Amino acid sequence: MNVAQAWTTFWVEQGPQSRCLANAPREMLEPLDGHWHALAPTLPSRVLDLGCGAGVVGRELLVANQQLRITGIDIALIPPSGDPHLELIPWTPMESLPFDDASFEAAVSQYGYEYGQSQETALEVARVLSPGAPISFLIHHSDSPLVSGMRLHKKAIDGLCDSRICSAFIAGDANGLGEQLAVLRHQCLGDPIVDQAEHGLRIHIRQDERRRHEIWNAVSQALEPERVMLQALNLCCVGHDDVDYWLEPLNAGFALKPPGAIRMRSGEPIAWIIEGRRRPAVTH
């Protein structure tokens, strides 16, 4: 399963007007939404949203500025927005945007831009923006508690798919299964998915072997989309030591401000803020 398929599965399950951080605490969501509410009145009308998902950024921008016309693109199959001011286009990679040169007057992204191939995406975004167009990208900060929690969750999911747990379940070894899950629970600080999986596996461990194989395959398939998405997150979040290197492809087309961070009231970072403007076209 690739990333586009994994996110498609996610959005099909979530439905329209959802958000990938729906279960995050308000102390994380409020600074993100507040950023877009503050930015919206400063934006020109034609805005491109990269990695838009179900359109949460577009909806938050429209809360503060109904004059905007926002086009969101995503690599996955995403639900329609239902808002005439917000067009969401599925199956569209950031590295190959289906728009004419200088089609947009601004570009935004929340936890989306960093999933693209940096060099190709930077060139494409520069191509479709008019000279002077602002960009505002919020990207995963490696020190964010959101990233830390997702990494722990990934560890729990990887552990559930471990061959030792698989072998114990398929063999019908309830004691062995319990021992392996106890170790995993301790390693993952009680991630609830471990308890949920244990409850389901213990219910079915007395089924015949053929049925246990079927159940294990179903569990593995159900966990696979989340495993793929979490692995992609792990690869694309940005730390202090590599932020300048990560921004280098954008420097050719954009005059960038020094990167900042959105933080919770406690001071913990939630996201890097990457902002700047499209450089003027070169004339000869």
Residues 6+ apart with CB under 8 A from 183: none
pLDDT at 283: 47
Of 3-7, 45-49, 66-70, least confident by mean pLDDT is 3-7
240, pLDDT greater than 60:
yes
Residue 46 has pLDDT above 80, yes or no: yes
Question: How far, in whole angstroms, is CA 66 from its chain's centroid?
Answer: 26
> In angstroms, rounded to a whole number, what is the distance separating the alpha carbons of residues 41 and 134?
13
Judged against a pLDDT cut of 90, whether residue 249 lies above it is answered with yes
- Cβ contact 237:208 at 8 Å: no
Question: Mean pLDDT score of the chain, rounded to an integer?
Answer: 90
CA–CA separation, 55 and 144 (whole Å): 22
pLDDT by residue (tens digit) across 136-177?
999 999 998 888 888 888 888 998 888 999 999 999 999 999
Domains and CATH numbers, the chain: 3-142+238-278 (3.40.50.150), 146-235 (no CATH)
Residue 232 has pLDDT above 90, yes or no: no
Question: Whole-angstrom Cα distance, residue 99 to residue 148?
Answer: 36
Percent of the chain, pLDDT > 90? 54
Residue 282, pLDDT > 60, answer: no
Instruction: Name the phi and psi angles at 46, rounded to 5.
Output: -95, 110
